[in-house]
Structure 1
């Protein structure tokens, strides 16, 4: 393996060329994704007169590839050069968008589902590659701060994204909205060319059955690590809680608060602003707090806030609780991402991410699917109390690993790029 001597002095995080590039790329992707999401949602709702089945297919197109391709994408991400993988995924996404756009233009409006479906497939190869590059190019002590910056970017678009997507669609229509997504992905690919060159790894020549062996190795690696096993359980519990709470948010607005459906946007906006602030706070204090503790704090506060939201019939109390919940939510995302990076060798980060990520998404989709059944059988107060208990259980299962220190991979310490 080609080795590069690590930087002798820690550079300011925002001066890190890798992080500047990856944040700009993600900003462009967020613009494309939010414009796409709202364009497809509003277009399908308008085209089908709000048919629930047609609208639910949008979520299927977005989430189904995660189940099928996350494990496979993570394995290939560990085999392929990460920079090249990310550039090609964005390029292929852009090309697929323009091909689908032609199909829509000539009369097959159902092709809009393919835009989300193809993009979701390619993201399962690109995202774990980005995690590998993070491991290479961000010093260990700055990993948590870097993740906090990512979370702040996502939170910013949770506030601005719906407004941007709605404006573009209502002003320019479906085809321009889809084209905006294609251009955004194309620009992201061009930006990613600025990334430092991939570290060359001496891999044995491909042999029959090697992919299957590496695929299985990802599951074995997670199972053999107590920290990653616990993290998998936290993913499952958090996914179940988040899914049911998100699915029934509208009923909190209409039944518990007595407001119209439109009031939900204000709750989401308050939550998004709080996530942006929370991400900034975590970025400042990240070095001083172990990721396990950060995750536990997020789960505990999430448990309390979820129960209060279920009980509350007061608009001010609900808004304040949602703000507090959004403020600590970055602790969950940043804690989880940092633990995956710190407890995984760079050669297997993609597979670890591919094993753990579907646990959260899968359980979230399962709980969203059963949310309607639960709503018919139980009052909202009981359902949200149950979701709070799931968050609480997630915090408690972290106790046995709270004092664990991340292993030091001496070979990887030499792979930090000189560009830092």
Structure 2
């Protein structure tokens, strides 16, 4: 009877020990990531005289592992104990940071790229494990609120992170900044010991030689689910749109607004503040809105705002539009994460995440790499209008699944065994 009452009255989100622990761990990791990103960026810029190739390699080191290791990491995350996996990933990240720190100290400055590269690889194992734990320890009706909290956390660091990273590098230098990253990874690992124990008895035992079969099950699970299939299509279109708009943001500042390059930081700051506010709003009202409607709303607003930013030559209009776009962006992130969790069985959520995540990132990197060439062939207004239409088509893709509700009893074996 007590268990039934507990299920009927789940604890408030912020009193959930799992949520408290994961948030604290993520705060520490965000500090390390932003210090790392800006310390390495400023260091490489100083060392190479702002060489664009050397600077672009930082993004390659950050995004390349997503293509190679996202599928693999998602599959292993479903095989391994999630709490243990997350702790080991943070510990190994810390060890790799201190090893690289030694090589930097003794003269090999190029090894700074490995700090980002190794951390990005390990995150492909840790992140889907965190999704599995979310599925286990957060009540179904609080999943969307939980995602909203994490979106708000990301928004806070989008505002504070650049300042934090710049201050660390300016006052401490590269080696001390990298050491800070190693320390916060160790602290994060220590915090994660507070997580509830892994459910060893419920963990499926990995079968030797079955890795490729389990990997293919993730693709088959996504393909057999109409909701996840449509989500994948929306991922692709959103990734293309985001890549174009992010890559050419500097030209909006210099060509459309006639401002110096430094003005871009104010646009990003306005966007980050709005994301923080938007995440809070979604957290309050998220229970009343289905995640697919939330995602569609975010993409529609993104479509309109992207077109306006492309056309605008007025600073006030552009900043106001950036703010509105920032308010809507949490709808996209929260909608996507909630749909993955609600329409995926706990035993396969890592693989589903591993299949869908590269679709967005891959398309974003492709459009970012093509943005420069498109800029030489088409006016900036046309490119931003095209990006707006990509967002719009992404929202339209979701119409067939708008009325669907998440299944109460997911049967993973029934889906993956279908041919």
Shift in Å, 1:199: 1.2
* Paired position in structure 2 for 1:418: none
Q: Structure 1 CA distance, aligned partners of 2:208 and 2:370? A: 42
> Are 1:383 and 2:383 an aligned pair?
yes
Taking the TM superposition and a 5 Å limit, the aligned residue runs for 1:358-373 are 358-373=358-373
Q: 1:71 to 1:201 in 2, by over 3 A?
A: farther
The C-alpha deviation readout for 1:228-277, integer Å capped at 9, x for no partner, is: 00000010000000001000000000000000000000000000000000
Q: Structure 2 CA distance, aligned partners of 1:21 and 1:292? A: 28
Shift in Å, 1:190: 0.3
Shift in Å, 1:409: 2.2
* Paired position in structure 1 for 2:33: 33
Taking the TM superposition and a 5 Å limit, the aligned residue runs for 1:147-296 are 147-202=147-202, 206-296=206-296
> Are 1:65 and 2:65 an aligned pair?
yes
Shift in Å, 1:9: 2.0
* Paired position in structure 2 for 1:11: 11
Q: Structure 2 CA distance, aligned partners of 1:203 and 1:98? A: 33
The C-alpha deviation readout for 1:189-238, integer Å capped at 9, x for no partner, is: 00000000011245665444311110000000000000000000010000
Secondary structure class of the residue paired with 2:404? coil
The C-alpha deviation readout for 1:328-382, integer Å capped at 9, x for no partner, is: 1000000000000000000000000000000000000000000000000000000
TM-score (norm 1): 0.96
Shift in Å, 1:7: 3.7
* Paired position in structure 2 for 1:316: 316
Q: Structure 2 CA distance, aligned partners of 1:242 and 1:324? A: 16
* Paired position in structure 2 for 1:144: 144
* Paired position in structure 2 for 1:103: 103
Q: 1:356 to 1:126 in 2, by over 3 A?
A: same
Shift in Å, 1:6: 6.5
The answer to whether the 8 A contact 2:303-2:391 is kept is yes
Taking the TM superposition and a 5 Å limit, the aligned residue runs for 1:341-352 are 341-352=341-352
The answer to whether the 8 A contact 2:345-2:410 is kept is no
> Are 1:335 and 2:371 an aligned pair?
no
Q: Structure 2 CA distance, aligned partners of 1:36 and 1:102? A: 16
Secondary structure class of the residue paired with 2:200? coil
Secondary structure class of the residue paired with 1:173? helix
Q: Structure 1 CA distance, aligned partners of 2:185 and 2:277? A: 27
Secondary structure class of the residue paired with 1:74? helix
* Paired position in structure 1 for 2:129: 129
* Paired position in structure 1 for 2:416: none
Q: Structure 2 CA distance, aligned partners of 1:166 and 1:203? A: 43
Q: 1:230 to 1:411 in 2, by over 3 A?
A: closer
Q: Structure 2 CA distance, aligned partners of 1:384 and 1:410? A: 40
